[in-house]
Chains A and B, each alone.
Chain A
Amino acid sequence: MTRIALDQIAHSYLPKPDGKDDYALKKIDTIWDDGAAYALLGPSGCGKTTLLNIISGLLTPSEGKVLYDGVDVTNLPPEKRNIAQVFQFPVLYDTMTVFDNLAFPLRNRGIEKKEVDKRVYEVAELLELTPFLKKKAKGLGADSKQKISLGRGLVRKDVAAILFDEPLTVIDPHLKWLLRRKLKEIHEQTGITFIYVTHDQVEAMTFADKVVVMYEGEIVQVGTPRELFENPEHTFVGYFIGSPGMNFLDCRLDGKYAVYGDTKIPLSEKTIEMAKNINGPLQLGIRPMYIEFDLDGKEGSIPVEVSKIEDLGHCRIVTADLSGNELKIRIPEGVNIQTGTQKIFFPPEWTKLYSDGKLINKGAI
């Protein structure tokens, strides 16, 4: 089994990159543990697919090294790496039957017929493709086609990781979650590393053990879905994950408080300690669900103007105005809030401070 390490990877599609903006990937340094399910999450154009193609070998990075178990494979073509990739649109060999499609990678590698048959039947069973084996691959539905694409990776015994590039894009919504669950099941049964590219946070959160968030060619955070939610290490993670996203306020530090306009927000001691040495503008961030309505006049509560309350069924989203900045606050059922002036409270343990987009009070609770 294989541990994949990216060592100082950077890539530019231009022959002579000039400056940071010419790079599609800027300095990626990360390790993909064996057997884990990763989601690579980020908006369109952030370099997810580029990174994936570098791992699989379809693309040679401009700088840095790709290591499989410590062995440098940077210049090896994809067929020489023990890796498989499933693309956004199902790729099939139209003229072949499903069986031949699945057998194709094995036959290309000169594996004997008995072994090929055995592997294909196993994988077909696993993917529930057995009834279609004799059929032409062309006539099948998009979900079956995508399963075949996956199957071509699974049949190879040596495959250490399977890379998925937004594989559910063309699947009907009602089949999406079925297929996603199937993927998860296969991951558990095979123990192969899965790296799953998506721009859909729900997909990433439900599929992966670990989510890798990318933004403008950089990895901004790697963590479990819970870590990403509770402890966004970058303002982008806060904004991109969660619905609605994190609230941000430009602020400065003044003694024990973060000051926004003439509002003073109390911070924890540790946070103050960590923020003291930072120069430049600060941003305060807090998840909508952690803002509390202060009904009995705590110290440090802040008056806001509540303008709108939306009921989403399982919760309500309050839109409030804090000296010109809009805040979203998520309140559980049973709490009654009226529009008009209300007092809110920012619990210091959930109040994050960011400088230049990066979290500065990491671990300060």
Chain B
Amino acid sequence: MDKWEDNKAWFLVVPVFLIVAFSAIIPLMTVVNYSIQDILAPGKGVFVGVEWFREILSDSRLHGALIRQIIYTFSILAIEIPLGIMIALLMPARGFSSSISLVIVAIPLLIPWNVVGTIFQIFGRGDIGLGGAFLHKIGIDYNYASDSVDAWLTVLTMDVWHWTPLVVLLCFAGLRAIPDAYYQAAKIDGASKWAVFRFIQLPKLKGVLIIAVLLRFMDSFMIYTEPFVLSGGGPGNATTFLSQYLAQLAIGQFDLGPAAAFSLIYFLIILLFCFIFYTFMQNAEKENG
């Protein structure tokens, strides 16, 4: 009888349940549903079991996209994290100049993905683009539309330009949280600049760096808009990463079944990496405590 007196709780739970259902569970279950059927026409499907998973896992184009994706993600992590730390270390710590440099550094973060793509598409053009024309002038044959290395470098540059500021901001906040006494003690101990970085700043930045790596990993692993705007995943499939390939399957070819199976695998890969990072983070925290 007591159980029914607390009906108020339902009013609190139901909206959340509905939101989660419509935003996550139902779409996810639809994808699961698609992944085991061959969709012939809207509303008409044939059950095929794990056929699509088998097909997708042996798809060489997918393998190519996955390898490119991994190389790409680890490249941008290898560039953005050290670069972000370096810039954060060089930024003035206090006063007006500190605020100014923070604003300047943060500007790229305010620009939407597709605009960044467009900016670089124009910037890199050989005829009218500031960067592209300049490279041509000094004798470098640069063309992101026909040369896959150039396209790669452009997408990398774009991401570094767009997202290094995030790492900078996180590191800057982390650096400001180090009490002065550490620097003073290091001075008295006669520590070199490198020793201060290695034994004080870097260990104290560990927490924010883990977050930075996690965020940049997830975001770059799902990169879609920038290469799409720049060259549509080309030339050839040089900048076709996982998201591009998925979009091609689902929207370009209407292979909903394979695309759904692919989505689930994609989702599991990201989930796996996030789980690894999360565990790592928890352990780091335990050590600190």
Contacts and interface: CB of A to CB of B under 8 A. Distances in A.
Complex A-B, nearest 8 residue pairs according to Cβ-Cβ distance, in ascending order: A79-B190, A91-B185, A108-B190, A105-B189, A87-B181, A93-B199, A78-B188, A95-B203
Contact of A88 (B181, B195, B203): B181
A21 to B, nearest CB: 24
Contact of A87 (B185, B200, B203, B287): B185
Nearest to A136: B287
Interface of A: 53, 56, 58, 77-79, 83-85, 87-89, 91, 93-96, 104-105, 108-109, 138, 149, 152-153
A96 B202 CA distance: 13
A193 B250 CA distance: 78
A77 B187 contact: yes
Most buried by B among A83, A88, A91, A105: A91
B191 A108 contact: yes
A89 B182 CA distance: 9
B199 A83 contact: no
Contacts of B188: 56, 58, 78-79, 83-85, 105, 153
Interface residues of B, number: 18
A58 B192 contact: no
21 contacts: A58-B187, A77-B187, A78-B184, A79-B187, A79-B190, A83-B188, A85-B185, A87-B185, A91-B182, A91-B185, A93-B199, A93-B203, A94-B204, A95-B199, A104-B189, A104-B191, A104-B195, A105-B188, A105-B190, A108-B192, A138-B287
A90 to B, nearest CB: 9
Contacts, number: 55
Interface in B169-210: 179, 181-182, 184-185, 187-192, 195, 199-200, 203-204
Contacts of A109: 190
Interface string B89-131: 0000000000000000000000000000000000000000000
A58 B190 CA distance: 12
Contacts of B60: none
B30 interface: no
A210 B182 CA distance: 29
A85 B184 CA distance: 9
Nearest to A110: B190
B23 interface: no
Contacts of B182: 91
Contacts of A87: 181, 184-185
A96 B199 contact: yes
B207 to A, nearest CB: 12
A77 B203 CA distance: 25
B282 interface: no
Interface string B274-289: 0000000000000110
B200 A89 contact: no
Contacts of A85: 184-185, 188
A149 B185 contact: yes
